[in-house]
Amino acid sequence: MKTPDYPFDSDYPIESLSRDPSDRFFSRSKETTRDIELPEPTRGAHSYDAFREAQDRFRESFHEPTAVDRDVRNLEKRLFMQNYHAKTDMDKTPRSMNRPSNMPPPTGTDNFDNPDFGGSDFSDQDLDTRDITRIDLPSPFADSNTSVEFGKSNEFDRSDGFDRSDGFSMSASFNEFPDSDDPAESSDSFGFQGSSDDPADPDDPFGFRSASANHGGSGGSGDKGGSKGGNGTPQDKRRRIIKIALLSALGVFLAGCITGGTIIALALTDKNMPEWNGEALDNLAYASIVYDKNGEEIGRFSSDQNRLAFEYEDIPELLRETLVAVEDKRFYEHTGTDPIGIIRGAFAGGQGGSGLTVQLAKNVFIQPERRTSRGFEGLKRKIQESYLALQIERHYKKDEIMKAYLTHIFFGQGSYGVRTAAQVYFGKELNDLTPPEIALLCGLPKGPSLYEPYNNPDNAKARRADVLLVMRNNDLITAAEYENYKDEPFTWVDKVQSGDESVKLAKENKNRFPYFVDYVRTALRDQYGLDDELISGGGLHIYTTVDPDIQAEAEKVMADPKNFPATAKDGVEVQGAFVMLDNETGNIVAMVGGRTYPEDTAIAFNRAAGNTGSKGRPPGSVAKPLIVYAPALEKATFANGTFFPGTVFDDEPTQYGAWEVVNYDSSYKGRITMREAVSKSVNTFAVKTYEAAGPDHCWKFAKDNMGLSGLSAKGSESSSLSNALGTFLATPLEIAQAYSAFPNLGKRNETQCVTKIESSSGEVIQEIEVENTEAMSASAAYVMSDMLRSVVTSGTGTGASIGSWYICGKTGTTSLPDHLGNVRGNPDAWFSGYSPLYTATVWMGYDTTDKTHYLVGEYGGTRPAAIWKKVMQKALEGRQVQSSIPQPSGVITVTYDALTGKLPSSTLGGGNQNGWGGWGGWSSLWPNRSYGSDIRTDIATEKGQPTEYGTAADYPRSNYGYNDDYGDEYDDW
């Protein structure tokens, strides 16, 4: 008997399902069938054929069709037609379909009620509830079993009931003779899946954009295993690609979750993970300890040193709103960490995401040395900060967190907390702050050292403008206010820098040598590159260069009123500064920035080093060896001779345009030598030497070789001859550093205040080595020292002489500005000098010079030289006296004519001690000069020794230094 010809099953005759009784599979000699009415599959048949063809190839690869195959085939047809009827409004043309009469109705969750399964036609059923159907099929053997499972899913978003998808699946498994050793008797399985989408697709009238059949089979351990598969349409391929991509993404996500969870676990169990302790919000960071050269503690840097208490109510509302707008827009919404802010920051280039609570957790719980960690350690730190931020949010209210943040955060210049910062930068309490002042304070946490206005006013102004813009954009200020505020000057900072104001704090400074310790703090940041937070709270051990005995003596001498002029009538004191260096190393052994250290001042004005933005004072004649005589000796020659201690210029009134060169005592000495000009501090000689040696050469030498940074400032160009008189700015520290090149025979050491820096655990962070610069030749340095020796033995600096010690030095004073009128006095008085072991510089004067505040009768050789001597004596105490320094090669002894500065001339009296023949010598013509016998011996460098003989042309007319009553015939020389 042959079955009807079906579009679905035309290749499977009934006879093929009959097997021999000995067949160990289904043994049926006759199959009884009955007709089942099915609709004509005029639409979508190709979709079913696609998976049926693949299925057929799979089955045929194992064995010929069996009765089970047929039964499963009929179920497949019914399942497909279920989808078919649900998706089309076709003409239902009855067709007959055979089914074994002994096939039982389905069991399990099926609810078809189909007449072929003992119920009504399934095509009219509501298919939404038919999700899973399992049919157990009989087997002629007790130990075999066959089952079929299929399922479907639909979406009903459109009027026709089908919108985006409709899918069905089916699987069949056979388990026969499970105890058999025959691999072919073990198990077989197969399955197929179908999917549909978009019934409006014109290329697929049935609504299938894709159809697929996946078939697989396995056969125990024998050779019956295998798999077959069929591919669908191009759309189906794209769907599989998308599916694979989604699965891959899911895999990556899951892997990331696993990896992230591992990292989080490592971070939270790390040995450096801080313990949560709510009381830590009120605790202070670890203090860094400062030691002197002997290892004794002299001071501490701690975060509580410059912190003032305040209440939440003291914080201006505008300050709170601005801080949130700038640092953490979602502060009042998130619970510690802000994922939106982190994502926003990631898309903005990696910035952002660290809100106020995270910053607070970082500053309170994370040790300073870990706050800048990077890489994997940085990732662990970030996780720890986020965890601690969540804990803070759990235990504290937002207002409490805001107050804690504004109490702990560092604002630069040693100020911790917003109230301290308000005092440091504006001299105000919080409730007196103006909008531009609030803008600066809210901008400082981003980079305190970078944006604070004392040392970086331009950066501070730019940062303040950025914050003001945020305030404008958030309607905290108006556009007009923004324009008015963005260029407002830092008035309070300017007053502090000039010494007119000082920053007042409630806490007393308890450091033993406060000026020096303050300088160390600044150097750690600017010279040694340490972060302010690490300095103030990192628990560092800082070993310095200060000699406690010399430092104590310097502070004692500077604090003694006897060493200074009387206080002005309005109570303003004459101030002073002192600094001493070790010649061999450049180490600072003592530094005093004022007569006394203000006890209630957070930032004391250090006149010795020029902190808080100060560039120093005009050094006056103290600068002459550095910018005039040393560069001249190094150059050696000029148009009319050579430079050595016997070089001669005429000391007489000299004028360059409108500028008149005047000596400090308004007297003139005529033709004198360089040695005399140095020892007597003659201004006219210095200017003429500067001009002869070349202003560019001298200016560059002093700036680059001697390290005078004030020459780089505007208005100090080399063409200005007034540079020869020290009209530029310099600090006592710079002057001392430059002078130390002379006893070091030309090597200028970089000044150091620290020798070693250790972490809280004792690990060496930095160990400072001596650095020096070849400032000049050893021979030129030695000759310069020899002339400076004359200043102390017979010149303006005799007050600095110390017994038989080799002491060299130079005095210096400056002139009052013209706008003060016809008054006599000096704004500044200096003395800088050295012994073979130490170099020191002293400055004295008022912080602000005006009509009532200037020095009267004080010069570098008076009180400044006396202060220098007292401290130097303490430094040399107990040392073996050194009355000289080693003379290097390249220094020679020369004989010269003191009138010309050249070799003695046989035709001009040089070779005859009695003068010119019968003239009886120059002494009869010029009573104050013994020219006929003034042949001198001095030292010079080999390059600077005189090589020419003097002639009458070397005697220009002069009205000073000789008697002019003898007639013009001699003057014309």
pLDDT value for 96: 38
Is residue 629 within 8 A of residue 674, CB to CB? The reply is yes
Confidence tier at 65 by pLDDT (50, 70, 90): low
Structure tokens at 535: 């300095």
pLDDT at 668 over 70: yes
CA 578, CA 587: separation in Å to the nearest integer? 14
CB-based contacts of 31: which residues, under 8 Å, 6+ apart? 1, 14, 17, 18, 67, 98, 100, 101
User: Is 518:298 a contact under the CB 8 Å cutoff?
Assistant: no
pLDDT for position 970: 31
Statement: residue 937 has pLDDT above 90: yes
Backbone angles phi, psi at 915, to 5 degrees: 90, -160
Query: What's phi and psi for 745, nearest 5 deg?
Result: 55, 50
Q: What average pLDDT does this structure show over 477-503?
A: 90
Residues 6+ apart with CB under 8 A from 797: 791, 809, 810, 811, 831, 833, 860, 861, 865
Q: For residue range 233-242, what is the model confidence (pLDDT) as tens digits?
A: 677 777 777 8
Sheet architecture: strand order including 132-137: 132-137, 145-154, 166-175, 187-196
Backbone angles phi, psi at 881, to 5 degrees: -65, 135
Of 334-338, 606-610, 863-867, the range with the highest mean pLDDT is 863-867
Question: Which has more pLDDT, 620 or 366?
Answer: 620
The pLDDT value given to residue 157 = 40
Model confidence band, residue 389 (pLDDT cutoffs 50, 70, 90): confident
Res 175 pLDDT > 50: no
Q: What is the mean pLDDT of residues 709-719?
A: 79
Q: Which residues face 592 on adjacent strands?
A: 578
The residue with greater pLDDT, 183 or 520, is: 520
- Residue 516: CB partners within 8 Å, gap ≥ 6? 298, 544, 546, 551, 588, 590, 591, 592, 753
Cα distances (Å, whole numbers) of residue 829 to 320, 524, 732, 844: 50, 31, 11, 5
pTM of the model: 0.59
d(CA 337, CA 154): 43
Name beta bridge partners: 565: none
Element (H, E) at 638: strand 637-638
Reported as a single tens digit per residue, the pLDDT across 795-808 is 999 999 999 999 99
Top pLDDT among 52 and 817 is at 817
Q: Does position 751 have pLDDT exceeding 50, yes or no?
A: yes
Alpha-carbon distance of 203 to 206, in angstroms, equals: 9
* 3-state SS assignment for residue 574: coil
Output the pLDDT for position 413.
Answer: 85
Between 90-94, 393-397, 598-602, 629-633, the lowest mean confidence (pLDDT) is in 90-94
Q: How far apart are CA 24 and CA 634, in angstroms?
A: 118
Q: 212: pLDDT confidence band, cut at 50, 70 and 90? A: very low
Contact 530, 301 (CB under 8 A): no
Highest mean pLDDT, choosing among 127-141, 256-270, 933-947: 933-947
Mean pLDDT, all residues of the chain: 75
Give the confidence band of 664 by pLDDT, cuts at 50, 70, 90: confident
Task: Identify which of 887, 894, 822, 817 has the alpha carbon closest to the alpha carbon of residue 848.
Answer: 817
What's the confidence (pLDDT) of residue 598? 86
Q: Indicate the range of 543-547, 705-709, 904-908, 912-916 predicted with least confidence.
A: 912-916
Share of the chain above pLDDT 70, in %: 61
Q: Which of 135-149, 530-544, 657-671, 836-850 has the lowest mean pLDDT?
A: 135-149
In whole angstroms, give the CA distance from residue 734 to residue 591: 12
Among the ranges given (109-118, 380-389, 401-410, 613-622), the one the predictor scored with the smallest mean pLDDT: 109-118
pLDDT tier at 472 (50, 70, 90 boundaries)?
Answer: very high
Mean predicted confidence (pLDDT) in 507-514: 70
The residue type at 929: R
> Please, which pLDDT band fits residue 329 given cuts at 50, 70 and 90?
confident
Q: What percentage of the chain reaches a pLDDT higher than 90?
A: 43
Among the ranges given (496-505, 519-528, 894-903), the one the predictor scored with the smallest mean pLDDT: 496-505
| Residue range 22-52, pLDDT digits in tens | 443 333 333 333 343 444 444 444 455 655 6
Q: Which of the listed ranges 203-217, 295-309, 342-356, 427-441 does the model predict with the highest average pLDDT?
A: 427-441
The tokens of 439 are what?
């803008």
- Is the pLDDT at 168 greater than 70? The verdict is no
Cα angle, residue 848 at apex, residues 847 and 852 outer, rounded to 5°: 120
By CB neighbour count within 10 A (0-12 exposed, 13-18 middle, 19+ buried), where does 478 fall? Answer: exposed
State the pLDDT confidence band at 390, using cuts at 50, 70 and 90. confident
* Per-residue pLDDT tens over the stretch 752-811: 999 999 987 788 999 998 889 999 999 999 999 999 999 999 999 999 999 999 999 999
Q: Say which residues have a Cβ less than 8 Å from residue 55's Cβ, sequence separation at least 6.
A: 76, 190, 192, 213, 215
Tokens of 4: 């009807």
> Higher-confidence residue: 68 or 689?
689
Which range (228-232, 585-589, 824-828) has the least confidence? 228-232
